[in-house]
């Protein structure tokens, strides 16, 4: 094709701008025009777009967010929406569309591909890392770095006061941010969706663990990482419960959208750059309905359907280390 379209959809992720820049620079390199739709699929339906040239993408890769805006667009699930989008793409003479987003956005991309004969290519952009087929999504590394930084800061004050803290992190229904930031910051405990599914923690088990850690170490701080949606009422409710029902002073800390802002890590900028260029090169090779991915250091693709129908498991070895080797409470060890 002579013209390709791009859009960012779903939750924004650090590194999306780096991906946009990479796509525009690669397109320029290969003499393709880039039409960017604003606000995700909404822009496709509303014909809200602009042409992007290398000038537009100068010095944007160091900023999180997305210069072409992202949005959720519930009506895109309708057949009529996909048909309308296909019409608009045809009118604009666009032969390929790159969708930067998470698994929901790829469902949308796939839905479009069933009503449009252009090439659809995905670039994984979400902090949650919950997209099958790639070791990391664009934004994940930055979210983990931000959570780690916050946990380090919480540790300082927790240590000074011998306090229990519950830090709530994002992740949708996946524990990647929780697990990695907990390990990076040496948290005493983590509550992750994948673990809750097998064996949900009770308040009694949490209290017991905190008391045993105190007994093993003497006084000290205790920092728990809680993935979002994994406790009714979240970190605030859990710490109130610990304090009111079990006399255990505890403070909550909600990181929230702080995890999506600030300068993206070098890892995310470079990943976004490689995946963005690869997406353009795949279009030139005639690929369709696949997502660009990085696995074991190599560029690869997965089919669009696989990105949401399969699930990346949490890294087994990190779980083992956190549970068995770094757990302050050893089954075999008596409290000192």
Which residues of this protein are in contact with ligand ATP, per CB under 6 A? 9-11, 41, 72-74, 76-77, 101-105, 107-108, 111, 126, 128, 172
Q: Give the shortest CB-325-to-ligand ATP separation in angstroms.
A: 32
Nearer to ligand ATP (CB atom), residue 146 or residue 224: 146
Measured at the alpha carbon of residue 72, what is the angle toward residues 66 and 76, in degrees to the nearest 5? 125
Nearer to ligand ATP (CB atom), residue 13 or residue 250: 13
- Helical (H) or strand (E) element with 150: helix 140-161
The CB-nearest residue to ligand ATP is: 104
Nearer to ligand ATP (CB atom), residue 19 or residue 154: 19
Nearer to ligand ATP (CB atom), residue 9 or residue 119: 9
Which one of 128, 149, 162, 268 is the catalytic residue? Answer: 128
13-45 in b/e form (b: 16+ CB < 10 A) is bbbbbbbbbbbbbbbbeeebbbbbbbbbbbbbb
Q: Give the shortest CB-234-to-ligand ATP separation in angstroms.
A: 18
The CA distance from 326 to 209, in Å, is 14
Q: Give the shortest CB-84-to-ligand ATP separation in angstroms.
A: 13
CB atoms within 10 A of CB 254: 16
Q: Give the shortest CB-71-to-ligand ATP separation in angstroms.
A: 7
The CA distance from 164 to 217, in Å, is 14
Please say if 162 is a catalytic residue: no
Residues composing the chain: 336
Which residues are tagged catalytic?
A: 128
């Amino acid at each position: 094709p002579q013209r390709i379209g791009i859009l960012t959809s779903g939750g924004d992720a650090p590194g999306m701008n780096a991906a946009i820049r990479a796509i525009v620079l690669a397109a320029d390199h290969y003499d393709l025009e880039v039409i960017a739709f604003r606000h995700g699929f909404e822009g496709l339906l509303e014909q809200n777009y602009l042409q992007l040239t290398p000038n537009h993408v100068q010095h944007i890769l160091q900023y999180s967010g997305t210069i072409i805006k992202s949005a959720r667009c519930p009506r895109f699930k309708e057949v009529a929406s996909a048909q309308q989008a296909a019409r608009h793409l045809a009118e604009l003479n666009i032969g390929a569309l790159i969708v930067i987003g998470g698994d929901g956005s790829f469902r949308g991309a796939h839905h479009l591909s069933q009503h449009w004969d252009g090439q659809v290519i995905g670039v994984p952009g979400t902090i949650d890392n919950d997209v099958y087929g790639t070791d990391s999504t664009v934004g994940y590394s930055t979210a983990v770095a931000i959570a780690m930084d916050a946990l380090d800061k919480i540790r300082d004050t927790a240590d000074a006061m011998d306090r229990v803290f519950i830090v709530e992190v994002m992740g949708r229904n996946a524990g990647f941010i929780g697990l990695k930031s907990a390990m990076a910051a040496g948290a005493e405990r983590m509550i992750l969706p994948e673990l809750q599914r097998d064996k949900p923690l009770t308040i009694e088990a949490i209290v017991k663990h905190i008391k045993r850690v105190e007994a093993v170490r003497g006084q000290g701080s205790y920092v728990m990482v809680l993935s979002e949606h994994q406790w009714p009422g979240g970190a605030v409710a859990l710490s109130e419960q610990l304090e009111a029902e079990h006399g255990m002073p505890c403070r909550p800390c909600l990181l929230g959208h702080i995890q999506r802002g600030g300068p993206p890590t070098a890892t995310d900028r470079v990943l976004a750059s490689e995946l963005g260029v690869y997406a353009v090169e795949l279009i030139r090779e005639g690929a369709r309905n696949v997502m660009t991915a990085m696995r074991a250091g190599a560029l690869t693709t997965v089919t669009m359907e696989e990105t949401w129908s399969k699930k990346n498991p949490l890294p087994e070895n990190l779980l083992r280390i956190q549970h068995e080797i770094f757990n302050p409470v050893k089954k075999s060890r008596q409290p000192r």
